[in-house]
Amino acid sequence: MQFEINKLTELGITQGEADRLTADVLDIISTSLCLGDSVAIPGFGRFSSEKENEYIGKDLTTGKTYLFPPHIGVKFTPSGMLKKGAAQ
């Protein structure tokens, strides 16, 4: 993980165990998103996957027009608490 895990080690686990558990949590979330499920974390936000239909777009650099296929994207909706913390 690229951010410092301070409080996680306070739970009585080592840094390596905290990294493995963090990877497991994120893997659980990504697996749920692949299955079309949503994951809501209280006080943080909600991860969900949504399908976008095909659309015609233009590459601004080359000026070419492309037909982009439908795809499933990841959507994150921050919670009110996170928004409030970010605004401060």
Residues that bind another protein (CB under 8 A): 1-8, 10-11, 13, 18, 20-22, 24-26, 28-30, 32-45, 49, 56, 58, 64-74, 76, 78, 81-83, 85-88
Residue among 2, 26, 1, 22 at smallest CA distance from 13: 22
The nearest distance, CB 15 to another protein, in angstroms, is: 13
Per-residue buried b or exposed e for 52-71, using 16+ beta carbons within 10 Å of the residue's own CB: eeeeeeeeeeeeeeeeeeee
Calpha distance 53→40 (Å, rounded): 25
The nearest distance, CB 14 to another protein, in angstroms, is: 13
The nearest distance, CB 17 to another protein, in angstroms, is: 9
